Amino acid sequence: MRSLILGTATRYLLPLLLLFSIYLLLRGHNEPGGGFAGGLVAAAAFALYTIAYGVTQARRTLHVDPIKLTALGLLLALGSGLLGLLSGQPFMTGLWSAQTIPVLGKAGTPVLFDLGVYLVVIGITLTIIFALADE
């Protein structure tokens, strides 16, 4: 049974929760937040959408298989660590660009690592949620 109130609220809450998750992701290396907290908020947004519309519609709205998100996140996190090795420094050394980006400030490998964690958390959490909802 579908709830009209939940469905309508979810249509408005999904973009707001995703925007908030990106905000948490971007402020994470300077203040509380980051990839893990932002990823959980994004996964919660899709969990709410799954409750309102079902797994099939939630998968269609996501547009990407959660396993692929997990793999991409792991590659980004690993790549951010390997950049330090390639520059002759220890693994996971933070490297920063000289130029500032308007929203991010100085971009660097910690931002890439946070983005990788963000994608891994979304991918794994949604894989679990979709599997449980299919049952």
* pLDDT, tens digit (0-9, with 9 covering 90-100), for 73-89: 999 999 998 988 888 88
DSSP, collapsed to helix, strand or coil, labels residue 14 as helix
H or E element that contains 43: helix 35-53
Residue with tokens 């793999």: 71
129 close to 42: Cβ distance less than 8 angstroms:
no
Half-sphere exposure of 78 (CA within 13 A, CB side): 7
Per-residue model confidence (pLDDT) at position 22: 93
Q: What is the reported pTM?
A: 0.90
Looking at residue 88, what is its pLDDT? 84
What is the rounded average pLDDT of the residues 50-66?
Answer: 95
Q: What is the DSSP string of 70-114?
A: HHHHHHHHHHHHHHHHHTTS-TT---EEEEEETTTEEEEHHHHHH
* Residue-level pLDDT at 1: 65
**How many other C-beta atoms can be found within 10 angstroms of the C-beta atom of residue 60?**
10
User: Which residues fall within 8 angstroms of residue 93, CB to CB, at 6 or more apart?
Assistant: 84, 87, 109
> Tell me: the pLDDT tens digits for 28-52?
766 777 899 999 999 999 999 999 9
* Residue 48: per-residue pLDDT: 96
Of 47 and 112, the one with more pLDDT: 47
Q: What is the pLDDT of residue 126?
A: 97
pLDDT average, residue stretch 120-125? 97
Structure tokens at 21: 């998750």
Mean pLDDT computed over every residue of the chain: 90
| Whether pLDDT at 14 is above 70 | yes
* pLDDT given for residue 104 in this prediction: 67
What integer pLDDT is reported at residue 27 of this predicted model? Answer: 84
Q: What is the C-alpha separation between 115 and 35, in angstroms, rounded?
A: 6
